[in-house]
Amino acid sequence: MSADARKPVNQAGTANSKLAALNTWVAEVAALTRPDTIHWCDGSDAENDALIAQMLADGTLLKLNEKTHPDSWLHRSHPDDVARVEHLTFVCTTAQDDAGPNNHWMAPAEAHAKVDALFDGCMAGRTLYVIPYCMGPIDSPLSRCGVEITDSPYVVANMRIMTRMGAAALARIEKEGSFVRGLHSIGELDPDRRLIMHFPEELTIKSYGSGYGGNALLGKKCHALRIASHQARNEGWLAEHMLILGIENPQGETHYIAAAFPSACGKTNLAMLIPPEGYRNAGWKVWTVGDDICWMRPGADGRLYAINPEAGFFGVAPGTSAKSNPNALATIQHDTIFTNVGLTADDQPWWEGLGNGQQPATDWRGNPYDPEKGPAAHPNSRFTVSAKQCPSYSPMAEDPQGVPISAIVFGGRRPSLVPLVFEARDWTHGVLIGAAMGSETTAAATGAVGVMRRDPMAMKPFCGYNFADYFGHWLSFDTSGAKLPKIFHVNWFRKGDDGSFLWPGFGDNLRVLEWMIGRVKGEAHAVETPIGHLPTGADLNLDGIDLSDEAEAKLFGFEREGWQAEFASIGDYLDGYGPRMPQALKDEQRRIVAALEKG
């Protein structure tokens, strides 16, 4: 499996095959980075066992308690390498306007020269790993392949969980002859020598100086969102930062919903939702297709069909508990890689919010835990685990054709103004809702309350091209014969005058999703307002929930003056993208402003 770094290696063994371009690229990278050896990853158990043993020997991984967490490991990253680095992340298109004001831009020639200077000789003394992978089911026409070259065995182990990696992916690459190229090195883990470069026009990624997941697992945000969003625009589909869940009613009918939320808005919790007891007893079930990324394409019947391009979860550990997300907690009890969590005295993983009655002995840096020196687990500590281990995992996640999407949901953290749920009047209105979504900041975070940070479709850090063009691409799906999903907006985080949340959230969110499905089927009632169709409290099943008069008024109410200010702000936001902003969105904003002024 290893070879002299100076010689191109072809795992298929035929110099004239469609893998020639891959072999040439690997040889070019090897000449630049000068590794000691090259290893082509086949994704086998034996290969993984050998990598785990190697990382245990050199301290990259620590074995966790085999009785409580069998076949699970802890990785501690460098203290300066614990999250995505947006200010060092670039989209490198020929024309700067194509990257848009939503991205940091650098000219491709300059970007290649700058990052290649860092890659020069960086793998000396190391192994170069070639990771062929497929985003999505191997046999799905919606899937796309890539190859990541890395010098990190930790990346290899994680990519094996997060993608369909190895021999089957290489076979598909050989069949298709195309793939996304991703070059990664941990370098010196120096924050001043760290760059994450995307070249959408070349289907290429170059990441240097970080071992953190979002910067190093190139199949994830780099490929599945930044590069794929560009691919999707060219090929007529959508690559979105969305969960996918299935809701099965007592009659055995399943509707699939895709939902986009900014960080800290309960995305994974919704993807793995457990119905309230009354719903469970009645026969309702929730199925998890994906918790983070959704690729959607129009089907022959005019509906949008979606796959989860990932095979695993790369979830945030802190806050995950038997109360907040029992399915997630059950998922990570075995065969899991934990990153930057704390440890108990008997080597069990621990993080703030776990709530299991135990206490940490060691913090995420490996030091004795001292609460005065910070949390035991880093706030962005993670777990990497196969999606198939989730109790609510849907077998439809492997369906090559994807699942038909009945509804698309946008949402943010809005303590004021925005009601619990409303429905867009049509597709254009829905795109505007997605374009304008965001969250309000708090005094603890920024020193100012209610500052709106808009995060369109939750794609602000991940869209690989100009947002104005991206909104136009969304609008382009509204064609004759299209049977598009209904679009909704939710807000689980509305607060009362005393600062407490008005909606219980978690499993009770199914009550809102049930209303959405009723709207999709033409069975549920709603009140028409200038901002969209709203339910009344009587339109939702609120059995077992005791809402105050204030909660009823604010969760299901419509505040005209507040919305007038909101839509004025939305108009300014759209104008900020200049002449590329689709006129249809600006017209829709003006239509709603006019409706709000009518009183």
Query: Known binder of ligand: residue 34?
Result: no
Indicate the pairing of strand 238-240 with strand 294-298.
antiparallel
Q: Looking up tokens 């409290």, which residue turns up?
A: 537
Identify the DSSP state of 418: -
| Predicted confidence (pLDDT) per residue in 33-83, tens digit | 999 999 999 999 999 999 999 999 999 999 999 999 999 999 999 999 998
First to last CA, the chain: 72
Q: Given this model, what pLDDT does residue 71 score?
A: 98
Q: Mind giving me the DSSP string for 285-333?
A: EEEEEESS-EEEEE-TTS-EEEE---SEEEEE-TT--TTT-HHHHHHTT
Residue type, 135: M
Q: Given this model, what pLDDT does residue 266 score?
A: 86
Residue 265 falls in the annotated catalytic set? yes
Q: Looking up tokens 């009183």, which residue turns up?
A: 599
Identify the DSSP state of 224: I
Is the alpha carbon torsion for 316, 321, 327, 329 positive or negative? positive
Q: Mind giving me the DSSP string for 372-409?
A: GG--SS-TT-EEEEEGGGSTTB-GGGG-TT-EEEEEEE
Cβ pair 422, 534 in contact under 8 A:
yes
Query: Known binder of ligand: residue 263?
Result: yes
Backbone angles phi, psi at 38, to 5 degrees: -120, 135
Helix axes 467-475, 583-598, angle to 10 degrees: 80
Cβ pair 510, 576 in contact under 8 A:
no
> Which architecture, in CATH terms, is 2-61+82-235?
3-Layer(aba) Sandwich (3.40)
Q: How many CB atoms lie within 10 A of CB 253?
A: 10
Instruction: Enter the tokens of residue 452.
Output: 């709106």
Contacts 24+ apart (CB under 8 A), 187-195: 187/118, 187/122, 189/78, 189/80, 189/81, 191/80, 191/81, 191/85, 193/118, 194/85, 194/88, 195/88, 195/90, 195/114, 195/115, 195/118
- Residue 481: which residues within 8 A CB-CB, separation 6 or more? 302
Query: Known binder of ligand: residue 508?
Result: yes
Q: For residue 528, list its beta bridge partners.
A: 533
CA–CA distance, 231 with 234 (Å, rounded to integer): 5
Query: Known binder of ligand: residue 356?
Result: no
Question: Which helix (H) or strand (E) is 527 found in, with range?
Answer: strand 527-529
Helix axes 20-33, 108-119, angle to 10 degrees: 60
Catalytic residue among 265, 294, 390, 463: 265
The Cα diameter of the chain in Å comes to 76
Selection from 3, 50, 51, 43 nearest residue 23 by Cα = 3
Query: Known binder of ligand: residue 369?
Result: no
Query: Known binder of ligand: residue 214?
Result: yes
SS3 annotation, 322-375: CCCCHHHHHHCCCCCEEECCEECCCCCEECCCCCCCCCCCECCCCCECCHHHCC
Query: Known binder of ligand: residue 507?
Result: yes
Query: Known binder of ligand: residue 573?
Result: no
Query: Known binder of ligand: residue 267?
Result: yes
CA–CA distance, 477 with 304 (Å, rounded to integer): 9
Q: Given this model, what pLDDT does residue 265 score?
A: 85
CA–CA distance, 180 with 325 (Å, rounded to integer): 34
Domain 240-311+396-598: top CATH class: alpha beta
Query: Known binder of ligand: residue 268?
Result: yes
Query: Known binder of ligand: residue 207?
Result: no
CA–CA distance, 305 with 292 (Å, rounded to integer): 16
Residue type, 236: G
CA–CA distance, 443 with 441 (Å, rounded to integer): 7
Query: Known binder of ligand: residue 212?
Result: yes
Q: Mind giving me the DSSP string for 17-82?
A: STTHHHHHHHHHHHHHH--SEEEE----HHHHHHHHHHHHHHTS-EE--TTTSTT-EEE---TT-S
Query: Known binder of ligand: residue 330?
Result: no
DSSP, collapsed to helix, strand or coil, labels residue 540 as coil
Query: Known binder of ligand: residue 541?
Result: no
Each domain of the chain, given as residue ranges in start order, spans 2-61+82-235, 240-311+396-598, 312-389
Look over the chain and give the mean of its residue pLDDT values, rounded to a whole number.
94
What is the C-alpha R_g of the chain? 24
Identify the DSSP state of 450: T
CA–CA distance, 517 with 485 (Å, rounded to integer): 11
Query: Known binder of ligand: residue 266?
Result: yes
The strand ranges marked E within 209-274 are 238-240, 243-248, 254-260
Residue type, 524: A
> Which architecture, in CATH terms, is 312-389?
Beta Complex (2.170)
Selection from 502, 531, 304 nearest residue 423 by Cα = 531
Give pLDDT tens digits along the chain (599 positions): 344 433 334 444 444 477 999 999 999 999 999 999 999 999 999 999 999 999 999 999 999 999 999 999 999 999 999 988 999 999 999 999 999 999 999 999 999 999 999 999 999 999 999 999 999 999 999 999 999 999 999 999 999 999 999 999 999 999 999 999 999 999 999 999 999 999 999 999 999 999 999 999 999 999 999 999 999 999 999 999 999 999 999 999 999 999 999 877 889 999 999 999 999 999 999 999 999 999 999 999 999 999 999 999 999 999 999 999 999 999 999 999 999 999 999 999 999 999 999 999 999 999 999 999 999 999 999 999 999 999 999 999 999 999 999 999 999 999 999 999 999 999 999 999 999 998 886 544 434 556 789 999 999 999 999 999 999 999 999 999 999 999 999 999 999 999 999 999 999 999 999 999 999 999 999 999 999 999 999 999 999 999 999 999 999 999 999 999 999 999 999 999 999 999 999 999 999 999 999 96
CA–CA distance, 486 with 411 (Å, rounded to integer): 14
Query: Known binder of ligand: residue 560?
Result: no
Q: Looking up tokens 């690229």, which residue turns up?
A: 25
Query: Known binder of ligand: residue 84?
Result: yes
Query: Known binder of ligand: residue 292?
Result: yes
Using CA atoms, how far residue 237 sits from 142, 300, 422, 474, 587, in Å, is 9, 13, 26, 9, 25
